[in-house]
Structure 1
């Protein structure tokens, strides 16, 4: 084993939810990813749809137990000194599969080694081991400081406030957001809201018909509460599109560590930039003259890092049109500009 040290840190990450896919909604999960030598470990695992044990939506007591476990203050949860590094974002059941590793002390250092995909009590290392990843040797002081700092940090705000004139649209959007684990409230006047309540919102979504005076009053109320949500103007009254916009607004992943970094579109082509190899689904939404919603799957492919130009069918993008690009770790939206 090499004696060279790797750096250890934590960074916000997101598993994007989805309300438009087949079957039940896909949960939105915020978590802290492990950053080794400046690069998120999850990005090295072949576009794996998984989250770390350090999820933002677990109670503080459970999060504290996970931190103590990774600090080796409790017994390993699995045989042979193995710990869960990433698990299923829907149920976190080992039967669904998890990435595990041996975590151990070596003098004053912490070692992570023998990464494997595990679905039972003992992994098959020759068959399911991640042979190109690790071992990693961390300085114990840096390792401990990063994990303990997590317990003192403010958790991400996973609630959104919806402000608009169309009650039916807001109601459907709120229900969709709640179905994937994002809290949502509907309001028009927040001038009397207590600061502690306003501080729980990570984003505020305005309908397109909300006048500027009403928007200014909402922003002023949040300002008086010293709260700083992300303000979003809905692209169109299309529920999956609005959900994607709000997930994008709530994403705290550092820009340099995102899988999807750029999206723009004209009627002829989409331009998409990818930060790490991942499977990307590109969906087009449009409103016709009768305000009916039309949906078209444009792309479902594994893309390599870098810029990509994707031809579009101009006939399928008549009227108001929008694109949503999704991968397991993020979502990005854009209007089709004519």
Structure 2
């Protein structure tokens, strides 16, 4: 790498980390003092005496002390940059993606239209969901954070504990039919005979792999003897002298009511995200809001991957000195 380019990147990282507290000339003096060793340069700023730093940069000792005692800067230099993986979605391009971004600036650009977006809110993320039921059973499938799904063992409705990208799916594919409590989920609806997919395996009532026994009986036409409806989802076995109890019906009604009262958007807030339900529909389930810049970041031409490896401290955490007052008193 060219030496001038390397030095310029070090200076940009210094400006980005310290929020422009050191200009280019001061930065050059600092790193020339340590022979342009980046780690030694940052260590020099945090561990050297304020008097020694003042002799190199020319800044006041009080300003240097304020920077050295900033808890945010201390934490990032000791523990590294805190990043997390967030989901972003562009409604205009019908495109969504996951990206690891700094927690201090969760912003990502759509590769198609170049628009910057804020992340999808945690409660509306969708992807490969992991569910942990109170009965001790753990299962996974396509899901959205705000949408529950019935446990395959006890039929209780469970909300996802973790949402991952679809490509991070773990374990082998299950034979269980997808079913969730979203209003548009096809997993708990009967399929008319004319809509049956010849390449799909349906539950004909003889499957005993489920803990609650067979599914609802199929209906046959009295004249032709053909199956009228095939039910995909099992329900608990009806015990003797007990009425049939639809466990998930209150949850489904609640989800429908929630859909009517939440964000008024053409994209539903609680929807089934299984590939079967999303067929011939938009890929974006919940769109990200466009990012509105507050102008708080330092002007830089860092690439997005380079920004993810740097850190922007909070100005609110830098102590504010008001001075002792009076004519000639300290003012900062």
With normalisation by structure 1, the TM-score equals 0.22
Q: Does 1 or 2 have the higher relative contact order (CA < 8 Å, sep 6+)?
A: 2
With normalisation by structure 2, the TM-score equals 0.23
